[in-house]
Amino acid sequence: MYLTEPKLIDVVKKQFLFKLKAYPSIFGSLLLVQALALVLSFNSNSGGSMTSNETLFVTYSTYTNEIPFVFTLFWAFLTATLLTTTAYRNDAFVFITTRTSHHLSSILLLLFASFIGGLTAVLTGPLLTLITYLRKGSLLVEPIHLSTFIPQVATAFAYAVLFASIGYLLGSFIQLSRWFVPIIIVVLVVLPYLLLAVSVVPTMEQVIGFFGAEKSMSLFLVKVAVTSLVSFTISIVTTMKMEVRK
Amino acid sequence: MTALLPFLLIIFIGIALYFILTKARSIFRVNKKWTYRLFIGYVFLLLIATGIVAVLDTKIGASLPDKVTAKDFYEMDNLLGKGDLSSVEASQISSEHTYEVKDSLRISSLNFYSPNNVYLERKPTNDGLVEMTVLKPVLIVNDRDFSERLPINKLHWTSDPTTGSAKLLISEQPPTQINFVSFKYAFMLRQFTEHPRRSSSFDSSMHRGVDIYLRVPKNLLVQGEDYVQIIYVD
């Protein structure tokens, strides 16, 4: 019995702000990853040429922000995984915390970081456009409209959250037992190759297609939200009984 | 070995991120202010670039060719094949001519590598007139219509009053070189902004030379010669 009973939501809010200030490496690493991706994108383009009836010659090259976006997803995955490590967990004990508030504030931090990551990944598009335009002198590019910009940011955010939630789940499993490392490698790397060898490719295709082939944005967001919620819930439940400092 | 490069790069980035997020965390903590300042500076740079590109859109976007699909490309073939010339958009028509003709018409082309399509519709009467509609050549690259950049072949109509025969000669397409650079957003980012979504992000191109639609008198003798493909319209 205390005079002031702290509410979980207030504790989570405070811890989220604390973690936001205490983990500058999350955003520092995002900056480094996207800067590297941008440098790689400058000289990475697809393209080709065509000739028709020996009088028409067309040569074209296409630049994209594919690399910054993929690198951002990789960053979200790895950041979430590393957020479950002992070093980060111990940081949280500087403040009065419970397992639940620790997880919830970390998830909130990941959602915020995913939004920033997704937003900056989309914004690398105009930066690359500008640099390509300055380098090449002319450029064919889709005009920026809010009607395309907002769905792109939402898509990038959703994919980043999805990757972060999977990373958080795998990280939690690894914290439970190091034996999960080889199991995860087998499930994520070895099995797909074996399945490929026995022509059971649709399994992997279906997993990717479940999100990637979705045409309805609202349905896609629901799929991502449900998958992330399930991943985060499993992470919380499985690590709830862990020792305070392992 | 080059095929392994992306994997090696990913592994390298993974190790670097692991190092930054675990071992080198203290460096960022000590320079916390600078890390956030740098990051805010980076976001600011991205926003400025977005603003500039949005303003430049009016300049860059002005030269942006229209978006078309493969369906649009084949649509005109279908319309002409059915004899529905009236449904062909006026923007796709280059010119229209009417010539007097007597007994016969020979059509030939100098386009050895890409024979021209000539659609032939017979009128119900023998009015002694050939009505010719010249359709613009089409070039579509990566779903963009570059047709306006193609020159149109010259057509030569000659008639011999003594024999009563006429000849239509389609000259060679002048040599044309088109170079362009384009920018596309990442494939996954375009998941909900492209309708219909393309099945892949690969480049594609389609080209068709100048097509001609002829409405000829009922009993005119028409002969297709070199590099001409005559398609009879019922």
User: For a pLDDT cut of 70, what percent of chain A falls above it?
Assistant: 85
Report the percentage of chain A scoring pLDDT > 90: 36
Which value, to the nearest 10 degrees, does the dihedral of the CA atoms of residues A162, B15, B32, A20 take?
20
Mean pLDDT of chain B: 81
Burial status of residue B43 (CB atoms within 10 A of its CB: 0-12, 13-18, 19 or more): middle
Residue B207: beta bridge partners?
A: B139
d(CA B226, CA B212): 15
- B92: closest CA of chain A, how far (Å): 19
> DSSP class of residue A49?
E
Contact B39/A31, CB-based, under 8 Å? yes
**What does the pLDDT look like over B92-110, one tens digit per residue?**
888 999 998 888 899 988 8
Check residue A219 and give its pLDDT.
94
Name which of B113, B146, B192 is nearest A155 (Cβ-Cβ). Answer: B192
Least Cα separation, residue A130 to chain B (angstroms): 6
Residue where the block lists tokens 């349905």: A219
Give pLDDT tens digits for B194-207.
754 444 444 677 88
B4: pLDDT strictly greater than 70: no
What are the residue ranges of helices labelled H in A191-216?
A: 191-197, 202-212
For residue B201, the model assigns a pLDDT of 46
Higher pLDDT, A8 or A47: A8
Q: Which of A182-186, B14-18, B116-120 has the highest mean pLDDT?
A: B116-120
Query: How far out from the chain centre does Cα A156 lie?
Result: 8
Query: How much is the CA Rg of chain B, to the nearest whole Å?
Result: 29
Query: Do B187 and A64 lie within an 8 Å CB cutoff?
Result: yes
Which residues on A lie below 8 Å from B206 (Cβ)?
none
Which pLDDT tens digit goes with each residue over B156-190?
Answer: 988 887 777 889 998 888 888 888 888 888 888 88
**Average pLDDT of the residues in B111-132:** 87
For residue B198, what pLDDT is reported? Answer: 45
Nearest Cα residue in chain B from A159: B188
Task: Please tell me the predicted confidence (pLDDT) of residue B200.
Answer: 43
Average pLDDT for chain A: 84
Per-residue pLDDT of A10-53, as tens digits, reads 888 888 888 888 888 889 889 999 999 999 888 777 777 777 66
| Interchain contact, A63 vs B173, CB within 8 Å | no
Q: Residue A93's pLDDT is what?
A: 67
Instruction: Look up the pTM and report it.
Output: 0.78
Dihedral angle at the C-alpha atoms of B211, B217, B221, B227, nearest 10 degrees? 0
